[in-house]
Amino acid sequence: MKKHINIIILILLLLNAILIYFTFFGFRERKKELKIENENSIIQNISVDYEVLGNPLANVKITDISNTNSNINSVVSSLGTAFDISGNFGNIQLQKATVSLKYNKEKLPSETAEDNLGILWYDEKNNKMVEISSKIDKNQQTITFETDHFSEYIFIDINKWHESWAKQMAKIRDTKAEFSVAFVIDNSGSMTTNDPQGKRIDATKQAISSLTTNDRYAIVKFENDATVLQYFTNNPEDAEDDYEEFKSTGGTNIVGAVEETIELLKEEDSNRDKIIILLTDGVDGNLNSKKDELVRKASDLGIVIFGIGLEANENSNLNFDTFSSLATETTGKFYRINDTELSNIFTEITNATVGVDGTIDSDGDGIPDGIEIAGMRDQFGNIIKTSPYLADTDGDGKSDREEIGTLKYDENGNMYYEIISNPLVNENEEQVKKVNYHIGPSETADKNNVWDSGFRTNVNALPFRNFAINDAATGGICEGFAILTERVYNGNFERKRNNVALGVKGVNIFKSRYGLLDLLAISTGYDLTGSRYNNMFNTKNLYSYVPSSEKLKNYMSRTLESQQIVNEDMDEGKEDGQLIKSLYFNWVEGNTKKNELFSIGDKKVTEKTISQLKDIFKNDKKIVTIQLPNHGINAYALEKCDQNTYILYVYDNNFPYDPLSINQKNSQMYTRNNAIFLKRIEDKNIFGGTNVNYRAAYFKQLYLTDSDKIDKNIDEFELIFDDEYSECFDEEKSNEKKVIVDDLPIHIDYEYIN
């Protein structure tokens, strides 16, 4: 009996030893792979090599979650592949795991370099994304990382991720604080090329308009020498004449400009917060030796310097390291930007340092207007801009305040909101989650055959819904919209026009069929100096105007019966009155223009018109208003397809692009005019000779359709363009089509939530 007991004890000890071995000493090396079936995916294969302590039945599962509702798919810099790794064991048993992603570099977006590939993992406990260290093997086309725990991961452009988090978010200003802000602006000769449109001037005006009367500002320009254009003042109108002094000539004396500005700020009250915002595109040879002295002088006076390095092209030669340290060593920040980011950079800095007015909340949703307009970053890096005039922007019954979540700060002090649900997406309906909208010459187009103003509908457009004129048989004030858009973009829009004489440009109000409307519009003029309209026009971002009055708010479709503008709508005391008066005034003015640049009333244009458009788009970088039969629109780019064919890209305010309006699959997005087709024709004169014109075809419609029901290369496309026109559209033919088009060179990539 004792012998049997000893054997049993021996067996138990042996089993215990085996268990201890497998638990603490037994490593199992295994490998798991997942092939990505989506042929359009950049990632082709994901493999996991892992070591598990004990557990001989250990197994790992890799799941492609790219097309699921997982929060990780909303990351701002996603390259399209998200995946989950899980195991049937605890993290304490996982010794290490090596994850490798095989990618196809030919499918990378043109703006994403291989060196910028990266991986984020989702920290579910803290509800945020975390960057993970990875290695890129360009020869093998793999990106690899190691981990000691499993989670959800996403393949990203790490550079874009960093850019999103480098962006300064607007804060609510301290009502007791007073600021003295000096704008120090490069006026050297290179600015002629790097900022031909004078965006730095518009950016300065915009930033100054965001300051309060308690703040003071000054403007200093510099080239070979520094010149104070505007000494410190709190009146925005004081600087109006100063902007004419920017001629872009001479060298780049950064040191002299900073020294001059420090002397200016020395005279300001010591209780004021003092800021220098310095923009340059060049190099000052003295900056290296003088930098420490400038930092010391600024720091002694409590001056914070924000440096902006404009890197407009590959030939930029900024000494970034020295310039950057000039800012950071005064507790400021350095921004390295391109010309497309120039328009809003000053406002971004003032919003983040001075702050926005926290007392103005037009829709009463608990978020100040300035914060909603500037945008709020979520934990996934997205900048979300909600309507300051709708408490529930997406109409899902939850206020923007409820959905945007709690304001937090990351370990680097960056502001973000821990979003609960997207305030731009109605969760009660099937909505578009992401839309990448593009119309205009493609990036791969032959630049020698493209004349482009730089205007983009999803960046610069001012979308409004058209309003019909009382008893007008031909429609609404579309031309007023077009002229307003042109003037805002081109920088010559007057916000204030009072005491205008009767009969503007020959209009006889007593003979006009719209007599009373004309009288009201042109006799008192219009005044759009209110903060609401300044915000709308200054941001120049895609912004759908939402009427205040219930009457106009209900006008969601363009029908003459329900959208009529009458005299009372233009009354200054009425909601929306100022804007409608402005639009109507531009309509009156537009209808009295003589010798318009471009009118296709007979659906023909001349060679001279083509030449004028080329010069305006290429040299002046402006957009123009086009008069169609009974309709006004804007044109912004021209592309030559071949010797006999051009495409003129246009924007129609009647049908503003608005992703929130797409609420179900297979629905018409808009009947939207986007391009004019110009084909060379020869008209024989019966008396001899030949006239050469271009016939304009303007019948373009876009329909958004469920991509699952569209073949990769749709047959309709082949029917639209003859072979002779194919040169402009090769790229479109080669891409996967996600829209049905009718005479329209356009593509839209989109995703649905459900």
Q: At which of 544, 575, 590 does a domain end?
A: 590
Residue type, 210: S
Q: At which of 166, 197, 229 does a domain end?
A: 166
What is the rounded CA–CA span in Å between residue 213 and residue 234? 5
Q: Confirm whether 538 is domain-assigned.
A: yes
Q: At which of 568, 590, 612 does a domain end?
A: 590
Q: Confirm whether 16 is domain-assigned.
A: no
Note whether 144 and 280 are same-domain residues. no
The pLDDT of residue 189 is above 80: yes
Pairing outcome for strands 303-310 and 152-157: unpaired
What is the rounded CA–CA span in Å between residue 462 and residue 465? 10
Average pLDDT over residues 270-285: 88
Measured over the CA atoms of residue 313, residue 317, residue 322 and residue 327, the dihedral's sign is: negative
CATH of the domain at 310: 3.40.50.410
The top-scoring range by mean pLDDT among 200-214, 428-442, 469-483, 568-582 is 200-214
Note whether 84 and 225 are same-domain residues. no
Mean pLDDT, the chain, rounded, equals: 75
Query: What's the confidence (pLDDT) of residue 261?
Result: 93
389 or 436: which carries more pLDDT confidence? 389
Total of domains in the chain: 5
Buried b (16+ CB within 10 A) or exposed e, 228-247: bbbebeeeeeebeebbeebe
The pLDDT of residue 668 is above 60: no
Residue type, 327: A
Q: Confirm whether 310 is domain-assigned.
A: yes
Note whether 603 and 734 are same-domain residues. yes
Note whether 184 and 330 are same-domain residues. yes
Tell me the per-residue pLDDT of 305-318, one tens digit each, with 9 for 90 and over: 998 888 765 555 66
- Residue 98 DSSP SS3: strand
Range(s) of the domain holding residue 117: 24-166
Query: What's the confidence (pLDDT) of residue 715?
Result: 32
Give yes or no for a contact between 100 and 50, defined as CB atoms under 8 angstroms apart. Answer: no
Q: Cα 411 vs. chain centroid, distance in angstroms?
A: 26
- Range of weakest confidence among 6-20, 451-465, 630-644: 6-20
Q: Confirm whether 363 is domain-assigned.
A: no
pTM: 0.61
Please give the C-alpha separations between residue 188 and each of 193, 221, 262, 297, 610, in angstroms, as whole numbers: 10, 9, 21, 25, 34
Query: What's the confidence (pLDDT) of residue 458?
Result: 59
430 or 553: which carries more pLDDT confidence? 553
Note whether 336 and 375 are same-domain residues. no
Name the percent of the chain lying above pLDDT 70. 68
What is the rounded CA–CA span in Å between residue 558 and residue 478? 11
Q: Confirm whether 480 is domain-assigned.
A: yes
Note whether 447 and 397 are same-domain residues. no
Tell me the per-residue pLDDT of 23-56, one tens digit each, with 9 for 90 and over: 555 545 577 888 888 878 899 999 988 887 655 6
Give yes or no for a contact between 202 and 345, defined as CB atoms under 8 angstroms apart. Answer: no
Q: How buried is 557 (Cβ within 10 angstroms: 0-12 exposed, 13-18 middle, 19+ buried)?
A: exposed
Note whether 201 and 156 are same-domain residues. no
Give the helix ranges, DSSP H, for 565-714: 577-590, 607-615
**Torsion angles phi and psi, residue 749, rounded to 5:** -100, 135
Q: Confirm whether 122 is domain-assigned.
A: yes
Give yes or no for a contact between 137 and 144, defined as CB atoms under 8 angstroms apart. Answer: yes
Please give the C-alpha separations between residue 378 and each of 50, 124, 385, 658, in angstroms, as whole numbers: 33, 15, 11, 21
Closest by CA position to 60, among listed 147, 122, 141: 147
Please give the C-alpha separations between residue 437 and each of 161, 344, 659, 716, 725, in angstroms, as whole numbers: 21, 21, 9, 20, 23
Note whether 583 and 638 are same-domain residues. no
The top-scoring range by mean pLDDT among 204-218, 431-445, 576-590 is 204-218
Q: Confirm whether 57 is domain-assigned.
A: yes
Average pLDDT over residues 580-595: 71
The pLDDT of residue 225 is above 50: yes
The H-or-E segment that residue 487 falls in is helix 478-490
The pLDDT of residue 740 is above 60: no
Q: Which residue has the tokens 């730095």?
A: 200
